Amino acid sequence: MIKKILVELDKTPASDSVVKYAVELARAHEAELTGVTVMDVRKLGNTGSILPGTTYSVVQSYDDHIAMIEKAIQEKTAQFIAMCDAEGVAHRVEHETGDPYPVMISKARYHDLFLVGLRSLFDYHVVNEPEHVFERLVREGVRPILAIPDQYRPIKRVLIAYSGSIHSAEAMKQFLQNRLWPDITIRVVFLGKNSEEASQILREGVSHCQAHGFSADAMHLPGEGPHVLLEHAEKWDADLIVLGNTARNVLAKEVFGNVTHYLIEHSPKVLFLSQ
């Protein structure tokens, strides 16, 4: 059951899609949204060159960056509130400062779902190379996460990457139990060469999906490259991919770990990340 949803509010390309999915889910589940902005003044990127004998250009650039961030926060907050009000969704906004990672990790403890842009976390276009978000969030135990790409699309077809491991099973169970979108079609896929193992694992995975009232089928993808799952997702026209995650399989060179890392970097699909 989803009743409290944590939402990243920023000015990244995915920000509009993040808010749209959040409002959609809150309305469907009668949940409350917590929109969070974070201003990290320590990571303002380039502050300009220092003129000989003065710090004027640095101060001027720093103040300009602060003003730009504050304006972006005000704009995104106003948009979020307007969309929530228009759809009758309960909401609140919290403005934070400092490192966004511990802020969001702390807040995620008291929310059922975290929505964040797929490529970055709280990037107000002042950091040259924002640190990638998901490895650290997953490592700290923030789950489940909906990682949202730039373009919104209705969720109708869901691909579940299922290896038979406890972590992929837990991700599948959590997705099914949450019933974020109840009227979806599911395909359970096994990635690897062992067809005998795949047959049993896929049969059990499909049965579990059907037990939860979902229409489901299965597909064995015999390739092992991390691109195989995404290629099939494109071919099948999936809207969302479910992936099991732990700190170990995000960072290790395992088949499903490689797939997870590859999709985080390249997927145009929504990702449901869980343990």
What is the model's pLDDT at position 217?
A: 98
Backbone phi, psi, residue 34, to 5°: -115, 105
Instruction: Give domain limits for the chain.
Output: 4-148, 157-274
Q: How far is CA 60 from the centre of its chain?
A: 35
User: Residue 240 has what pLDDT?
Assistant: 98
Right CATH for 157-274 from 3.40.50.620, 3.40.50.1100, 3.40.50.300, 3.20.20.70: 3.40.50.620
Domains 4-148 and 157-274 agree in fold: yes
Nearest to 103 by CA among 89, 91, 121, 117: 121
22 closest CA partner among 79, 80, 73: 80
240: Cβ contacts below 8 Å, ≥ 6 apart: 155, 157, 158, 159, 269, 270, 271, 272
How would you label 39-70 residue by residue, b for 16+ Cβ within 10 Å and e otherwise? Answer: bbeebbeebeeeeeeeeeeeeebeeebeeebe
Instruction: Write down the CATH number for the domain with range 4-148.
Output: 3.40.50.620
- Answer yes or no: are the C-beta atoms of 214 and 176 closer than 8 Å: yes
Residue segments in the chain with a per-residue pLDDT below the cut of 50: 46-56, 125-131, 246-256
What pLDDT, on the 0 to 100 scale, is given for residue 215? 98
Residue-wise pLDDT for 134-193, tens only, equals 767 877 888 899 999 999 999 999 999 998 888 899 999 999 999 999 999 999 999 887
